[in-house]
Chains A and B, each alone.
Chain A
Amino acid sequence: MSRAALLVLADGRFPAGGHAHSGGAEAAVKAGRITSAAGLEDFCRGRLHTAGLVAGALAAAAVLGVDPRQLDAAADARTPSPALRSAARRLGRQLLRAARAAWPSPELDALGVQFPKGAHQPVVLGVAARSAGLAPEDAAYCAAYESVSGPATATVRLLSLDPFDATGVLARLAPELDRVADRAVAAARRALDEGVDALPAASGPLLEVAAEWHAAWPVRLFAS
């Protein structure tokens, strides 16, 4: 297998539905909490160290072969907001479709049978990375990067933010992405021995609360 598969999986154009989700940025913009590139950077940093870390660890654990059912239950417990759980499952199902076309495998097929309504996206991401022959580190990087690239792209659309500024934000977060991916993989390895309780449970209260607020809007641009 090829490391370059990571580029395919992490490509923002990978057709897995991410473009319709803002990762909480739409709610934060409407609440006036993101008004500039600096606000976007603060938002992304917070999301990276909470939802991004958890997603990275779930994905890495799935690559290591931890039971997807246990990982999915762990994701549920770490995602209080029903709106976010539902979005994660929809994205998981969409990712599964794309991943099965890209890297067909019995494990991806089995995941579709086990979770007809979709498993949490990071769990599917991990099984997809595993099917592509990628390492736990690769999956953790991919999940952590998605946790910030989604809000950055969405904010460019929502605020007409200068896309160069948004890309600068992502580049400045790179060293922290390294650290989050490291922590995620270390936790995933512990989960192999100690069970899924060893996975991080970092949470951003406003991400969870605002997701519920956002889901109740009658008119919005992004699905979450």
Chain B
Amino acid sequence: MTTTGVRADARIVARADGRGGTALPVLDGEGPLALRRIRSSGAETRVMVVGAMSGPLGGDRFALTARVERGARLHVGSAAATLALPGQAHGEARYDVRLDVADDAELHWLPEQLISAHGSDLYVTTRAELAAGARLVLREEQVLGRAGEEPGRLTSRLTVRVAGRTVLDQELSYGPGAPGGWDGPAVLAGCRAVGQLVVVRPEFADHPAEARVLGECAALIPLAGPAVLVSAVAPDALQLRRLLDESLAGLTRTAP
């Protein structure tokens, strides 16, 4: 029986190739964080996280960094949902994502859901650092337990900084051992899927989006900075995704 889990690191650097496209001078990841370049469309280059095994398990340490340099456009997705599972190694698993987006660069960070399986214990942090002229679309979805399963312990901290100023700092914590009330009417009210969609655009500084209520369990809200957050709680992953997709489509339609 091992006492330490797996370490996995992945790095992406996206750079304008000078011909209107985006090159990937660094695309470095293996094992659970294996990366693959897939078709590109126009200026945007696409990367898929194709985790070769499920994880993270207890004790694992995953880290993924992506840097999008001036003028580059990067889209990152994942081939499948990330499944947090209990491992042989005891203790919390960690998954740290660091995203850096330069002026005049754009990142779409749209991974599949993070599923917290029964008995797992995962602390995930996502930190996005944006220059004043950077653009970002970031989606995070947490699903508590596989179908009909009690969730594990999951804590997720999401920090978005624009031009050195924190516009969103939010930590969500669920499951057995989480601080009390996580399943109650102030937090989840029994729902099993939670999502955040963050859109940062320099134009929001002068033309902030209007707050919009999307039913009693979801809202589009302008943050204190050039960003909006769609925050949604839903009974399941499917309904959550539909809400977030519709919100993103609405934002894209009204793009200045």
Contacts and interface: CB of A to CB of B under 8 A. Distances in A.
Interface of A: 24, 27-28, 31, 33-34, 39, 42-51, 53, 73-74, 76-78, 80-83, 85, 176, 197, 200-210, 212-213, 215-216
7 contacts: A49-B180, A49-B182, A203-B170, A204-B181, A205-B231, A209-B217, A212-B213
A50 B187 contact: yes
B221 A82 contact: yes
Contact of B187 (A78, A201, A207, A212): A207
B172 interface: yes
Contact of B185 (A34, A82, A83, A200): A34
A201 B169 CA distance: 6
Interface stretch (B10-18, B73-81, B116-124, B160-168): B160-168
B185 A212 contact: no
Interface stretch (B33-41, B57-65, B199-207, B222-230): B222-230
Contacts of B216: 27, 31, 209-210, 213
A39 B159 CA distance: 31
A113 B195 CA distance: 39
A81 B186 contact: no
B231 A77 contact: no
B188 A205 contact: yes
Contact of A209 (B179, B180, B232): B232
Contacts of A212: 211, 213, 219, 221
A115 B168 CA distance: 21
Given A39-B185, A210-B216, A80 B165 contact: no
A42 B189 CA distance: 9
B144 interface: no
Q: How large is the interface on B (under 10, 10 to 19, 20 to 34, 35 or more residues)?
A: 35 or more
Contacts of B169: 74, 77-78, 197, 201
Interface in B122-143: none
A11 to B, nearest CB: 24
Contacts of A81: 219, 221
B170 A78 contact: yes
A46 B188 CA distance: 9
Interface in B145-191: 157, 159, 165-173, 179-189
Q: Determine chain B's interface SS by DSSP, over half rule.
A: strand
A80 B181 contact: no
A197 B166 contact: yes
B167 A42 contact: no
Contacts, number: 133
B231 A43 contact: no
Given A206-B233, A213-B219, 16 more contacts: A43-B186, A45-B181, A50-B181, A73-B166, A73-B224, A77-B166, A77-B167, A77-B169, A77-B224, A80-B221, A197-B169, A205-B172, A205-B187, A206-B186, A208-B221, A209-B216
B184 A46 contact: yes
A43 B186 CA distance: 5
B114 interface: no
A21 to B, nearest CB: 15
Contacts of B189: 31, 33, 206
A10 B223 CA distance: 30
Nearest to A151: B186
Contacts of B237: none
B101 interface: no
Contacts of A46: 180-182, 184-187
B93 interface: no
A203 B224 contact: no
A59 B186 CA distance: 22
A80 B171 contact: no
Given A205-B233, A209-B216, A76 B185 contact: no
B194 interface: yes
Nearest to A45: B181
Contacts of B232: 205, 209
Nearest to A75: B224
For the complex of A and B, 8 pairs with smallest distance between CB atoms: A46-B181, A42-B184, A46-B186, A45-B181, A33-B185, A49-B179, A76-B224, A212-B219
Nearest to A83: B211
B115 interface: no
A46 B157 CA distance: 17
Most chain A CB inside 10 Å of its own CB: which residue of B182, B184, B216 = B184
A33 B189 CA distance: 7
Contacts of A76: 167, 224
